[in-house]
């Protein structure tokens, strides 16, 4: 079974709606399996979200078939950082997971944040 067959689009999921074009987004990059688009409420000069096209709620839902998507997401994040001119200065990759992790959209996504100095520890 392919990744797309094992994780169908969820019609009530905003990021699935972006994947299939029902919800508009400013797309930065797309491949067969991964999509990158501008966050609608940016918290840094660069704030891009990288998602799998397939609906996977969060990293805990990955299995042997879908886990390689995570590597692809990191490769796309690097590409986004290069395209946005923050690869040399540095950036932060964040994947909020579950309630206490601050996840609000339950379609796995990697935040690419940059263009300013990041604080640590996070709030």
Q: What residues are annotated to the active site? A: 109
Smallest gap from Cβ 66 to ligand AMP, in A, equals: 18
41 vs 88, beta carbon nearer ligand AMP: 41
47-66 residues near Zn ion, rule: CB under 5 A: 55
Edge-to-edge strand order for the sheet containing 110-114?
Answer: 27-30, 34-38, 46-52, 110-114, 91-94
CB of 91 to Zn ion, least distance (A): 25
Cα separation, 36 vs 19, whole angstroms: 10
**Chosen from ligand AMP, Zn ion, none, partner binding at 67 (C-beta under 5 to 8 Å by type):** none
Distance between CA 99 and CA 26 in Å, rounded? 27
The DSSP secondary-structure symbol of 92 reads E
**Among 28, 69, 77, which residue's Cα sits nearest to residue 52?**
69
Rule CB under 6 A: choose which of 9, 10, 14, 62 binds ligand AMP.
14
Pick the stretch among 14-22, 37-45, 62-70, 95-103 that binds Zn ion (CB under 5 A).
14-22
Is residue 61 within the footprint of ligand AMP (CB under 6 A)?
no
Report whether 109 contacts 47 (CB < 8 A): no
Q: Which residues contact 123 (CB under 8 A, 6 or more apart)?
A: none
Of residues 3, 7, 15, 34, which one binds Zn ion by CB under 5 A? 15
Report the interface residues with ligand AMP, using CB under 6 A. 14, 23, 25, 39-41, 49, 96, 102-105
């Amino acid at each position: 079974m392919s990744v797309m067959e094992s994780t169908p689009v969820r019609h009530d999921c905003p990021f699935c709606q972006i994947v299939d074009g029902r919800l508009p987004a400013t797309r930065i990059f797309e491949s067969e399996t991964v999509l990158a688009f501008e966050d609608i409420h940016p918290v840094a000069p660069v704030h891009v979200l990288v998602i799998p096209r397939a609906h996977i709620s969060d990293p805990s839902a990955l299995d042997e078939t879908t886990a390689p998507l995570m590597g692809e997401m990191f490769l796309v994040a690097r590409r986004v950082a290069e395209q946005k001119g923050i690869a040399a200065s540095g950036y932060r990759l964040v994947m909020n997971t579950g309630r206490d992790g601050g996840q609000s959209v339950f379609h796995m996504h990697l935040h690419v944040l940059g263009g300013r100095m990041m604080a640590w520890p996070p709030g």
